[in-house]
Amino acid sequence: MSAASLVTVAVCQFAPTADREDNLLRIAEQTRTAAARGARLIVFPEYASYFVAPFDVTLRENAEELDGPFVQSLRAIAYEHDVTIVAGLVERGGDAALVRNALVAVDATGIRARYRKQHLYDAFGARESEWLSAGDIGAPETFEVGGIRFGLMTCYDLRFPEVGRTLVDAGADALIVPAEWVRGPLKEHHWVTLLEARAIENTAYVIAADHPAPVGVGHSAVIDPQGVRIAGIGSEEGVAIAELDAELIARTREINPVLRVRRYRVVPAE
Protein backbone atom coordinates (compact mmCIF):
# COMPACT_ATOMS: atom_id res chain seq x y z
CA MET A 1 0.00 0.00 0.00
CA SER A 2 1.33 3.43 -0.93
CA ALA A 3 -0.11 6.82 -0.01
CA ALA A 4 -0.52 7.60 -3.70
CA SER A 5 -2.89 4.65 -4.14
CA LEU A 6 -5.27 5.69 -1.34
CA VAL A 7 -8.50 7.70 -1.56
CA THR A 8 -10.32 8.56 1.67
CA VAL A 9 -14.11 8.35 1.43
CA ALA A 10 -16.98 8.97 3.84
CA VAL A 11 -20.49 7.60 4.15
CA CYS A 12 -22.92 9.99 5.86
CA GLN A 13 -26.05 8.56 7.46
CA PHE A 14 -28.78 11.08 8.20
CA ALA A 15 -32.57 11.30 8.01
CA PRO A 16 -33.74 13.73 5.31
CA THR A 17 -37.12 15.34 5.98
CA ALA A 18 -39.61 17.67 4.30
CA ASP A 19 -37.50 20.64 5.43
CA ARG A 20 -35.28 21.28 2.42
CA GLU A 21 -33.17 23.95 4.12
CA ASP A 22 -32.51 21.72 7.12
CA ASN A 23 -31.47 18.86 4.83
CA LEU A 24 -28.83 21.10 3.27
CA LEU A 25 -27.67 22.24 6.71
CA ARG A 26 -27.21 18.60 7.74
CA ILE A 27 -25.32 17.85 4.53
CA ALA A 28 -23.06 20.86 5.13
CA GLU A 29 -22.42 19.78 8.74
CA GLN A 30 -21.58 16.19 7.86
CA THR A 31 -19.43 17.29 4.91
CA ARG A 32 -17.47 19.53 7.26
CA THR A 33 -16.94 16.61 9.64
CA ALA A 34 -15.92 14.21 6.87
CA ALA A 35 -13.59 16.68 5.15
CA ALA A 36 -11.88 17.45 8.46
CA ARG A 37 -11.13 13.73 8.73
CA GLY A 38 -9.54 13.70 5.27
CA ALA A 39 -12.40 12.54 3.04
CA ARG A 40 -12.14 13.45 -0.63
CA LEU A 41 -15.39 11.74 -1.64
CA ILE A 42 -18.49 12.05 0.58
CA VAL A 43 -21.63 9.98 0.00
CA PHE A 44 -25.13 10.85 1.25
CA PRO A 45 -28.37 8.83 1.09
CA GLU A 46 -31.13 8.60 -1.46
CA TYR A 47 -33.76 11.40 -1.24
CA ALA A 48 -31.26 13.69 0.51
CA SER A 49 -32.96 16.79 -0.94
CA TYR A 50 -36.49 16.00 0.27
CA PHE A 51 -38.24 13.05 1.89
CA VAL A 52 -41.65 12.20 3.32
CA ALA A 53 -42.94 8.79 4.40
CA PRO A 54 -45.34 7.79 3.05
CA PHE A 55 -45.00 9.69 -0.23
CA ASP A 56 -47.59 12.35 -0.97
CA VAL A 57 -48.16 15.18 -3.46
CA THR A 58 -45.47 17.30 -1.81
CA LEU A 59 -42.90 15.03 -3.47
CA ARG A 60 -43.85 16.56 -6.83
CA GLU A 61 -44.09 20.04 -5.37
CA ASN A 62 -40.51 19.84 -4.08
CA ALA A 63 -38.90 18.24 -7.12
CA GLU A 64 -36.10 20.23 -8.78
CA GLU A 65 -34.14 20.32 -12.01
CA LEU A 66 -30.59 18.99 -11.92
CA ASP A 67 -29.32 22.56 -12.16
CA GLY A 68 -31.70 23.70 -9.40
CA PRO A 69 -31.00 25.09 -5.93
CA PHE A 70 -30.20 21.75 -4.28
CA VAL A 71 -27.43 20.84 -6.71
CA GLN A 72 -26.14 24.41 -6.74
CA SER A 73 -25.90 24.25 -2.95
CA LEU A 74 -24.08 20.90 -3.13
CA ARG A 75 -21.62 22.48 -5.55
CA ALA A 76 -20.98 25.36 -3.12
CA ILE A 77 -20.41 22.94 -0.24
CA ALA A 78 -18.07 20.84 -2.38
CA TYR A 79 -16.14 23.97 -3.38
CA GLU A 80 -15.80 25.11 0.23
CA HIS A 81 -14.24 21.82 1.32
CA ASP A 82 -12.54 20.77 -1.95
CA VAL A 83 -14.40 17.45 -2.11
CA THR A 84 -16.70 15.48 -4.37
CA ILE A 85 -20.22 14.90 -3.02
CA VAL A 86 -22.70 12.21 -4.07
CA ALA A 87 -26.32 12.68 -2.97
CA GLY A 88 -29.83 11.71 -3.98
CA LEU A 89 -32.49 14.19 -4.98
CA VAL A 90 -36.09 14.33 -6.17
CA GLU A 91 -35.80 15.46 -9.78
CA ARG A 92 -38.61 17.04 -11.75
CA GLY A 93 -39.77 14.57 -14.39
CA GLY A 94 -40.97 14.98 -17.95
CA ASP A 95 -44.40 13.74 -16.83
CA ALA A 96 -46.06 16.30 -14.55
CA ALA A 97 -47.56 13.47 -12.49
CA LEU A 98 -44.26 11.68 -11.80
CA VAL A 99 -40.82 12.62 -10.53
CA ARG A 100 -37.43 10.96 -10.89
CA ASN A 101 -35.24 9.49 -8.20
CA ALA A 102 -31.83 10.89 -9.17
CA LEU A 103 -28.25 10.87 -7.96
CA VAL A 104 -25.55 13.40 -8.72
CA ALA A 105 -21.82 13.44 -8.16
CA VAL A 106 -20.80 17.07 -7.74
CA ASP A 107 -17.57 18.95 -7.18
CA ALA A 108 -16.60 22.60 -7.49
CA THR A 109 -16.70 22.39 -11.29
CA GLY A 110 -20.29 21.11 -11.43
CA ILE A 111 -21.95 17.72 -12.01
CA ARG A 112 -19.40 14.95 -12.63
CA ALA A 113 -21.98 12.16 -13.11
CA ARG A 114 -25.74 11.70 -12.83
CA TYR A 115 -27.94 8.66 -12.48
CA ARG A 116 -31.68 7.99 -12.38
CA LYS A 117 -32.91 4.95 -10.48
CA GLN A 118 -33.68 2.15 -12.91
CA HIS A 119 -35.56 -0.31 -10.70
CA LEU A 120 -38.47 1.22 -8.84
CA TYR A 121 -39.36 -0.18 -5.44
CA ASP A 122 -42.58 -2.03 -6.20
CA ALA A 123 -42.01 -4.71 -3.57
CA PHE A 124 -42.68 -5.59 0.06
CA GLY A 125 -46.01 -3.76 -0.13
CA ALA A 126 -44.58 -0.50 -1.57
CA ARG A 127 -45.47 1.07 -4.95
CA GLU A 128 -42.76 3.58 -5.84
CA SER A 129 -43.95 3.59 -9.46
CA GLU A 130 -47.11 5.45 -8.40
CA TRP A 131 -44.89 8.49 -7.77
CA LEU A 132 -41.73 7.99 -9.82
CA SER A 133 -40.70 7.21 -13.37
CA ALA A 134 -37.76 4.86 -13.93
CA GLY A 135 -34.52 6.07 -15.44
CA ASP A 136 -33.64 5.07 -18.97
CA ILE A 137 -31.04 2.34 -19.48
CA GLY A 138 -28.13 4.05 -21.18
CA ALA A 139 -24.37 4.19 -21.16
CA PRO A 140 -23.09 4.01 -17.56
CA GLU A 141 -21.78 7.29 -16.20
CA THR A 142 -18.69 7.04 -14.02
CA PHE A 143 -16.29 9.54 -12.50
CA GLU A 144 -12.80 9.46 -11.04
CA VAL A 145 -11.33 10.66 -7.77
CA GLY A 146 -7.66 10.09 -7.01
CA GLY A 147 -7.21 7.44 -9.67
CA ILE A 148 -10.18 5.31 -8.58
CA ARG A 149 -13.25 5.17 -10.83
CA PHE A 150 -16.72 5.22 -9.25
CA GLY A 151 -20.13 4.19 -10.57
CA LEU A 152 -23.61 5.03 -9.28
CA MET A 153 -26.67 2.93 -8.43
CA THR A 154 -29.61 3.49 -6.08
CA CYS A 155 -31.16 1.40 -3.30
CA TYR A 156 -33.43 -1.26 -4.92
CA ASP A 157 -30.98 -1.47 -7.87
CA LEU A 158 -28.76 -3.36 -5.42
CA ARG A 159 -30.99 -6.44 -5.82
CA PHE A 160 -30.12 -6.63 -9.55
CA PRO A 161 -26.52 -7.87 -10.04
CA GLU A 162 -26.42 -6.70 -13.66
CA VAL A 163 -26.45 -3.05 -12.56
CA GLY A 164 -23.17 -3.41 -10.71
CA ARG A 165 -21.63 -5.58 -13.41
CA THR A 166 -22.52 -3.04 -16.12
CA LEU A 167 -20.75 -0.33 -14.11
CA VAL A 168 -17.66 -2.49 -13.60
CA ASP A 169 -17.61 -3.34 -17.30
CA ALA A 170 -17.51 0.42 -17.88
CA GLY A 171 -14.39 0.68 -15.72
CA ALA A 172 -15.75 1.24 -12.21
CA ASP A 173 -13.52 0.18 -9.31
CA ALA A 174 -16.11 1.12 -6.69
CA LEU A 175 -19.91 1.10 -6.58
CA ILE A 176 -21.73 3.90 -4.76
CA VAL A 177 -25.16 3.01 -3.36
CA PRO A 178 -27.22 5.81 -1.78
CA ALA A 179 -30.37 4.26 -0.32
CA GLU A 180 -33.52 4.55 1.72
CA TRP A 181 -33.60 0.84 2.59
CA VAL A 182 -36.91 0.53 4.39
CA ARG A 183 -37.06 -1.49 7.59
CA GLY A 184 -38.97 -4.77 7.69
CA PRO A 185 -38.56 -8.51 8.31
CA LEU A 186 -35.07 -9.61 7.21
CA LYS A 187 -34.47 -6.29 5.44
CA GLU A 188 -31.31 -5.52 7.42
CA HIS A 189 -30.02 -8.99 6.58
CA HIS A 190 -30.78 -8.45 2.87
CA TRP A 191 -29.03 -5.06 2.88
CA VAL A 192 -25.81 -6.31 4.47
CA THR A 193 -25.72 -9.51 2.41
CA LEU A 194 -26.31 -7.78 -0.92
CA LEU A 195 -23.69 -5.10 -0.27
CA GLU A 196 -21.12 -7.79 0.42
CA ALA A 197 -22.22 -9.86 -2.58
CA ARG A 198 -21.93 -6.95 -5.01
CA ALA A 199 -18.40 -6.29 -3.71
CA ILE A 200 -17.29 -9.93 -3.94
CA GLU A 201 -18.72 -10.72 -7.37
CA ASN A 202 -17.31 -7.52 -8.90
CA THR A 203 -14.04 -7.41 -6.92
CA ALA A 204 -14.92 -3.77 -6.26
CA TYR A 205 -15.41 -1.51 -3.27
CA VAL A 206 -19.03 -0.78 -2.33
CA ILE A 207 -19.84 2.52 -0.59
CA ALA A 208 -23.40 2.59 0.73
CA ALA A 209 -25.25 5.37 2.59
CA ASP A 210 -28.70 4.68 4.05
CA HIS A 211 -31.27 6.52 6.17
CA PRO A 212 -31.06 5.72 9.90
CA ALA A 213 -33.80 4.13 11.99
CA PRO A 214 -36.72 4.23 12.41
CA VAL A 215 -37.51 4.46 8.66
CA GLY A 216 -34.30 3.00 7.21
CA VAL A 217 -32.24 0.09 8.46
CA GLY A 218 -29.11 2.23 8.73
CA HIS A 219 -25.86 0.25 8.64
CA SER A 220 -24.23 2.47 6.02
CA ALA A 221 -20.90 0.91 5.18
CA VAL A 222 -17.79 0.68 3.07
CA ILE A 223 -17.08 -2.86 1.85
CA ASP A 224 -13.73 -3.83 0.34
CA PRO A 225 -13.28 -5.88 -2.89
CA GLN A 226 -13.20 -9.15 -0.93
CA GLY A 227 -16.48 -8.43 0.85
CA VAL A 228 -15.02 -7.22 4.15
CA ARG A 229 -16.73 -4.31 5.91
CA ILE A 230 -13.94 -1.82 6.62
CA ALA A 231 -16.08 1.04 7.98
CA GLY A 232 -19.67 1.48 9.00
CA ILE A 233 -22.39 2.96 11.17
CA GLY A 234 -25.11 1.32 13.23
CA SER A 235 -28.76 2.37 13.11
CA GLU A 236 -28.15 5.94 14.30
CA GLU A 237 -26.99 9.03 12.40
CA GLY A 238 -23.28 9.43 11.86
CA VAL A 239 -20.25 9.57 9.57
CA ALA A 240 -17.88 6.69 8.77
CA ILE A 241 -14.50 7.07 7.08
CA ALA A 242 -12.47 4.55 5.07
CA GLU A 243 -9.44 4.49 2.82
CA LEU A 244 -9.89 2.91 -0.61
CA ASP A 245 -6.71 1.36 -1.98
CA ALA A 246 -6.24 1.08 -5.75
CA GLU A 247 -3.47 -1.47 -5.19
CA LEU A 248 -5.85 -3.71 -3.23
CA ILE A 249 -8.33 -3.64 -6.13
CA ALA A 250 -5.57 -4.72 -8.53
CA ARG A 251 -4.32 -7.48 -6.20
CA THR A 252 -7.84 -8.81 -5.62
CA ARG A 253 -8.57 -8.94 -9.33
CA GLU A 254 -5.28 -10.74 -9.92
CA ILE A 255 -5.94 -13.54 -7.43
CA ASN A 256 -9.68 -13.72 -8.25
CA PRO A 257 -9.95 -12.93 -12.00
CA VAL A 258 -13.75 -13.28 -12.26
CA LEU A 259 -14.01 -10.18 -14.47
CA ARG A 260 -11.59 -11.67 -17.00
CA VAL A 261 -12.72 -15.28 -17.16
CA ARG A 262 -16.52 -15.09 -17.02
CA ARG A 263 -18.19 -16.47 -20.14
CA TYR A 264 -21.19 -14.18 -20.33
CA ARG A 265 -21.40 -10.42 -20.65
CA VAL A 266 -24.18 -8.04 -19.68
CA VAL A 267 -25.72 -6.49 -22.80
CA PRO A 268 -27.88 -3.42 -22.05
CA ALA A 269 -31.38 -3.53 -23.51
CA GLU A 270 -31.86 -1.34 -26.57
Which tens digit of pLDDT belongs to each residue from 2-53?
667 899 999 999 999 999 999 999 999 999 999 999 999 999 999 999 999 9
155 as an active site residue: the answer is yes
Catalytic residue among 46, 91, 180, 196: 46
Alpha helices for 50-105 (secondary structure H): 58-61, 69-81
12 as an active site residue: the answer is no
Tens digits of per-residue pLDDT, 146-194? 999 999 999 999 999 999 999 999 999 999 999 999 999 999 999 999 9
Tens digits of per-residue pLDDT, 72-81? 999 999 999 9
Catalytic residue among 64, 91, 117, 180: 117
Catalytic residue among 64, 155, 188, 196: 155
Global pTM exceeds 0.85: yes
Q: Of all residues in the chain, what percent carry a pLDDT higher than 90?
A: 87
